[in-house]
Chain A
């Protein structure tokens, strides 16, 4: 076994001349979990697609479990498990039949494929729905089955592309538990996410990317330190907002405005009091002031010095996906949300 489960050196990939990934390098230690954090369109999925042999990189060197992705893609495919953003399952077949299908495709004998399917159904708490067609599954069940399907044969390297997008908190917690267990079993895991909290809870190390570039790297704590750990959110009613903003700017250079909220990074909790006092001194009336953990928006604001303009729209796009997979009993046919989008 090599020291690194995954090595990415100077990866470049463009689509029709537009760079999607520009010179990205990182490594994932064998048996560790790396979180790849970034907004939609930042290049996360492209990196995963290059590493899983779906796309051919335009430049750079990629090694998965010591195998060269461009030189020996067959070797790579025999070592990886991939769970994509959208549950790639056969809607018509039952959960058990899906797992058996993938087992048989991986050349397991029929009996063994069945046995393995039953084991996985059990482990992923899908036993009750084993014989129902996948189209009747809820979003959380789909994601669990999708993950199970990629693990029909255990693999040393696991790719999880936004595995919890659109899941309700309980399903998310269950999936996190499963992912931790996978890592405890010794797998090298690359997980992409839009949620700071998710990477924070799961990852040994975090790589933050934006617009196809690595903009930060480190452990969760190191990153939070760079963001400032906490932000102060001040709620100001309209006639006072401009004045409040001006006042806060004197306090810190990075003032973000979200509707009626003004957000400032703070390094010490005591700064909350200082902010309130500053505003009070200037006679600016406020509705509320509170400390909270930074959101992904604010991480990007702190790391890139600009607000993440795409995050809002992407959040909505992700919610649209959530509508198809997140609600119990909803079927995720592409046609339905598309219809909704048109009207």
Chain B
């Protein structure tokens, strides 16, 4: 019997094996169910909330059709991250993860595969939601560059969250429990933010919390990037938050990654 010539080291392996794993992760998402979810969910949320609150906020002088889609984008970024966390847990439960560990597969390729597939998923989601939002009156008023910034910020946010959910998923190994566990902080964070309701509509004592929640900061930056006059201060704040989340969650994920079997 012949031993394989190469080992797992090297950039070539990292990229090639990462691409194979990313392709495999994406094939898991390429189901009818997922396609329906990707189209139906944005429609449900954009038009559902618009019907629900459009009139109430119009009365307060807020263009809800422009206000809402960035929130749906942020919400969907959470969904991308949570789904990814559950997928990592499933890979650990099924033994796929362990099989990769005993194969000459570059350790970084496993992480790269996740990052790449989630980036693609997040990108598609942002595009779909922006198009859906367009039907509801949402527009990029700030030009092409700001629109690109909108997409980039959203995807970066999804990836930072994914690092966190990957840490949870890999350390648990129970996809159902992970999905439930991640749902709670997601709901609380998205509802206690400026996603659906502006900060001043919350009770006064809660307003500072709402305004400074990282989720609000990111959503407000997304809104700013879609507006006629993007505020770079707001965008910078969001970039800092995303960077902090990415570092904290990234460290946690790599620690779990080194221990999980």
The CA-CA distance from A24 to B13 in the complex, in Å, is: 35
Residues of B within 8 A of A22 (CB): none
With a CB–CB cut-off of 8 A, which chain B residues contact A261?
none
Shortest C-beta distance, B152 to chain A (Å), equals 30
Contact of A107 among B6, B96, B100, B261 (CB under 8 A): B6
Specify the chain B residue showing the minimal Cβ separation from A75.
Answer: B7
Determine the distance from Cα of A149 to Cα of B6 in the docked complex, in whole angstroms.
Answer: 19
Q: CB-CB < 8 A to A88: which residues of B?
A: 94-96, 98-99
Question: Is A105's CB under 8 angstroms from B95's CB?
Answer: no
Is B104 positioned at the interface, with any CB of A under 8 Å from its CB? yes
Whether B244 is near chain A, meaning CB under 8 Å from some CB there, is no
Give the contacting residue for B93; candidates A53, A84, A87, A334; CB below 8 A.
A334
- In the complex, residue of chain A having the shortest beta-carbon distance to the beta carbon of B13: A107
Residues of A97-128 contacting chain B, CB below 8 A: 97, 101-102, 104-107
- Out of A52, A101, A106, A185, which one reaches B4, CB within 8 Å? A106
Of the residues A53, A78, A156, contact of B101 by C-beta under 8 Å = A53
Complex Cα gap A86–B103 (Å): 16
Residue among A65, A74, A153 making CB contact with B7, cutoff 8 Å:
A74
Chain A count of residues within 8 A CB distance of the other chain:
40
Which residue of A55, A92, A97, A105 is within 8 Å of B21 (Cβ)? A105
B96 touches A90 (CB 8 A): yes
Interface check B105, CB cutoff 8 A = yes
**Given A53-B101, A88-B98, is A104 in contact with B176 using a C-beta cutoff of 8 Å?**
no
B39 touches A (CB below 8 Å)? no
Q: Which residue of B lies closest to A49 (CB)?
A: B261
Q: Is the CB of A77 within 8 A of B95?
A: no
Given A77-B104, A86-B95, A105-B21, decide whether A334 and B174 contact each other with a Cβ distance below 8 A: yes
B102 at the interface (CB under 8 A from A): yes
A335 touches B27 (CB 8 A): no
Residue of B nearest to A102 (CB): B103
A82 to B, closest residue via Cβ: B102
- A residues 146-200 near B (Cβ < 8 Å) are 149-150, 153-156, 185-187
Known: A78-B8, A105-B103. A91 touches B21 (CB 8 A): no
Q: Which residues does chain B contribute within 8 Å of A82, judged by CB atoms?
A: 99, 102
Given contacts A52-B102, A84-B95, A155 and B13 within 8 Å (CB-CB): no
- A91 B1 Cβ-Cβ under 8 A: no
- Give the CA-CA distance A185 to B2 in the complex, in Å: 11
Given contacts A91-B94, A92-B27, contact A77 B102 (CB under 8 A): yes
Complex Cα spacing A94 to B237, Å: 46
Asked if A90 and B13 make an inter-chain contact with CB atoms under 8 angstroms apart, the answer reads: no
The 8 A CB mask of B86-112 against A (1 = contact, 0 = none) is 000000011110111111110000000
Q: Is A80 an interface residue (CB 8 A)?
A: yes
**Residue B9 at the A interface, CB < 8 A?**
yes
* B19-44 interface bits toward A, Cβ cutoff 8 Å, 1 = contact, 0 = none: 01100100110010000000000000
10 residue pairs bridging A and B, Cβ less than 8 Å apart: A49-B261, A80-B102, A82-B102, A90-B28, A101-B24, A105-B20, A105-B105, A107-B17, A155-B4, A156-B1
Q: List residues of chain B with CB under 8 Å of any chain A CB.
A: 1-4, 6-9, 13, 16-17, 20-21, 24, 27-28, 31, 93-96, 98-105, 174, 176, 261
Q: Apart from A74-B8, A86-B95, what 7 extra A-B contacts exist at CB < 8 Å?
A: A54-B261, A88-B98, A88-B99, A93-B27, A97-B27, A149-B99, A185-B1
The 8 closest A-B pairs by CB, nearest first: A88-B95, A88-B99, A74-B7, A77-B104, A78-B104, A82-B102, A104-B20, A52-B102
